[in-house]
Chains A and B, each alone.
Chain A
C-alpha cells in the first residue's frame, strides 16, 4: 500500500461555508480517509502548519496580516495549493469592503460610531490581527496551483477536484466545475 497523501485545509478570511461543503461530501469522507491523512485543518486540533504537506485546500481571502503570514507559510510547506471557494479565488464577500477604502475608517464606523457608548477599535495584537489595506485573492499573495471556485463549491465539485488531484487526472477543461457563485 502506498503512503497516504498529507492533506491540509486552511481557513483564512471566509465564512467556513467551504469547509461545511467539504463535510457535505458525507460518506465519501470515509473513502477519502483511506487515501489521506489530515495533517492540518480547522476541523482538527493542530496548532502549527506542518512541513511536507502534499495538498492544501485554502478557504477564504487574504484579509489580515495573520492570513498573509499563514498563506506564505503554507505555500512554503505544500506541494499543491488549491484556492478553495470564491473567497480564496476572487475575494468574494470578504473583499466587499475594498471599495470603501481604508479599513480603519470601516472599523471606526463599526466599533465606535455605531456603538452606543465606550466604543473602541479592537487592537489587542497579536490576538486581533491587523486588517490589510485591501482584501486580496489568494493567488495575488502566493502561487496557486488549482482553482476551485464556488460559494461554496458544491460537495460533488470538491470531490471531483480532490480525486482528480489525487489521481493526477484533473482535466484542464472543467466545464461547470469552475462557475463562480
Chain B
C-alpha cells in the first residue's frame, strides 16, 4: 500500500501548492503543471543536478538553486522564471550549443530534441560565444544503435539508466572538464562491448540526437524519455500499462505523418 506522504505548503510563482515532504521543487512543480525547464533530470533516475537549466530562485537565498535537487521546505517561496533566470538559462544553453557540434539541420533528432526545444523556450536565437567545433568521431559500430558524440551534452542520462535501471553499466564518463566524454567499457567501439544488452534504454533516454537507431535519417529519431519513469513505477507498484506509443523503435513509426 502506498504510504501517506506529509504535505508541505510552498509557493511557486505566486501559486500556493501542497508539495510532498521529500519531494524536490521540480517534482512538486510538475505535479501541479508548473513548467520548469530541465535537461539532465529524468524521472526515475537518480538526480545528477548538473545541467543547471532548472535553476530557480528561492526566497532568502542569494544563489539560484537547481529545482531538481532542492527539496521542498515548509513555506518555501520559489520563482521559476525571473528575468535573471531566463538570462542565465539562455547563457547556459548558448554554452552547450557552442561546446559540441549541434547542427540541427542534419540531426536525426531535429524537431524531437530537448536541447533544441529548450533553446526555443529560452528565446535563444543565436550563440554569442565562439563555437568550439571539437573533432569527435561518430561510433556506428553497434549493429542496432549509433553514438554521435558531437551532439552529446554529457547529461549522463544514458550512464544512469544503463547502471540504475538496466544494471549493465556499459556507459560511463571518461576524462574531465571540457574533455569529459562518454565511453563504453574501456573506450573501445560500442559494437565491441560485451556488456551491452541491446536494451535501447540509453537511446530512449537521450535528450538529443547523440544516441539513435541505425538507419535513422534527419528528424526520424524518436526518444521515449518517459519510458524510465513507467518502468520504475511498474516495478514498484506491479502495475504494467501498455505504452501509449512504441518507446523504442523509430522504424515502426516511419509511417507516421510527422
Contact of A180 with B by CB under 8 A: yes
Binding site for B on A (CB under 8 A): 83, 86, 89-93, 95-96, 98-101, 134, 137, 139-140, 144, 147, 149, 151, 172-176, 178-181
- Chain B 73-127 residues near chain A, CB threshold 8 A: 97, 101-107, 110-111, 116, 119-120, 123-127
Q: Shortest Cβ distance from B96 into chain A, in angstroms?
A: 13
Contact of B46 with A by CB under 8 A: no
Task: Report the stretch among B28-36, B130-138, B188-196, B231-239 that lies at the interface.
Answer: B130-138
Query: For residue B127, which residue of chain A has the nearest CB?
Result: A90
Instruction: Determine whether the beta carbon of B134 is less than 8 Å from that of A178.
Output: no
Contact of A93 among B97, B106, B127 (CB under 8 A): B106
Instruction: Determine whether the beta carbon of A176 is less than 8 Å from that of B120.
Output: yes
Instruction: Determine whether the beta carbon of B133 is less than 8 Å from that of A98.
Output: yes
Instruction: Determine whether the beta carbon of B116 is less than 8 Å from that of A91.
Output: no
Query: For residue A181, which residue of chain B has the nearest CB?
Result: B104
Contact of A86 among B105, B120, B130 (CB under 8 A): B105
CB-defined contacts of A179 to chain B, threshold 8 Å: 104, 116, 119-120
Contact of B104 among A134, A139, A176, A180 (CB under 8 A): A180
* Assembled-state Cα–Cα distance A101/B134 (Å): 10
In this complex, which of A95, A172, A180 has the most chain B Cβ atoms within 10 angstroms of its Cβ?
A180
Instruction: Determine whether the beta carbon of B120 is less than 8 Å from that of A134.
Output: no
Contact of A178 among B97, B120, B130, B133 (CB under 8 A): B120
* 7 interchain pairs, CB-CB under 8 A: A99-B135, A137-B131, A139-B126, A139-B128, A147-B125, A151-B104, A180-B105
Query: For residue A147, which residue of chain B has the nearest CB?
Result: B125
Please, how many residues of chain B have a CB less than 8 angstroms from a CB on the other chain? 26
Besides A98-B131, A99-B136, A180-B102, 15 other CB < 8 A contacts? A89-B125, A90-B127, A91-B131, A92-B103, A137-B131, A139-B128, A144-B126, A147-B125, A173-B123, A174-B123, A178-B120, A179-B104, A180-B104, A180-B105, A181-B116
Instruction: Determine whether the beta carbon of B107 is less than 8 Å from that of A178.
Output: no
Query: For residue A175, which residue of chain B has the nearest CB?
Result: B120
Instruction: Determine whether the beta carbon of A180 is less than 8 Å from that of B131.
Output: no
Query: For residue B135, which residue of chain A has the nearest CB?
Result: A99
B133-150 CB contact bits vs A (8 Å, 1 = yes)?
Answer: 111100000000000001
CB-defined contacts of A140 to chain B, threshold 8 Å: 130
Q: Shortest Cβ distance from B235 into chain A, in angstroms?
A: 36
Query: For residue A172, which residue of chain B has the nearest CB?
Result: B123
Query: For residue A178, which residue of chain B has the nearest CB?
Result: B125
Instruction: Determine whether the beta carbon of A96 is less than 8 Å from that of B101.
Output: yes
Query: For residue B129, which residue of chain A has the nearest CB?
Result: A140
Instruction: Determine whether the beta carbon of A93 is less than 8 Å from that of B105.
Output: yes
Q: Shortest Cβ distance from B105 into chain A, in angstroms?
A: 3
CB-defined contacts of B127 to chain A, threshold 8 Å: 90, 137
* Assembled-state Cα–Cα distance A59/B111 (Å): 22
B52-91 CB contact bits vs A (8 Å, 1 = yes)?
Answer: 0000000000000000000000000000000000000000
Instruction: Determine whether the beta carbon of B133 is less than 8 Å from that of A134.
Output: yes
Instruction: Determine whether the beta carbon of A95 is less than 8 Å from that of B133.
Output: yes
* Assembled-state Cα–Cα distance A23/B103 (Å): 24
CB-defined contacts of B101 to chain A, threshold 8 Å: 96, 99
Instruction: Determine whether the beta carbon of A99 is less than 8 Å from that of B105.
Output: no
Take A91-B131, A93-B106 as given contacts and tell me if A149 and B123 are in contact as well, using a CB distance cutoff of 8 Å.
no
CB-defined contacts of B103 to chain A, threshold 8 Å: 90, 92-93, 95-96
Contact of A147 among B104, B106, B126 (CB under 8 A): B126
Instruction: Determine whether the beta carbon of B133 is less than 8 Å from that of A89.
Output: no
* Assembled-state Cα–Cα distance A135/B119 (Å): 22
Take A99-B136, A181-B110 as given contacts and tell me if A89 and B123 are in contact as well, using a CB distance cutoff of 8 Å.
no
* Assembled-state Cα–Cα distance A174/B126 (Å): 13
Q: Shortest Cβ distance from B14 into chain A, in angstroms?
A: 21
* Assembled-state Cα–Cα distance A136/B62 (Å): 38
* Assembled-state Cα–Cα distance A179/B106 (Å): 14
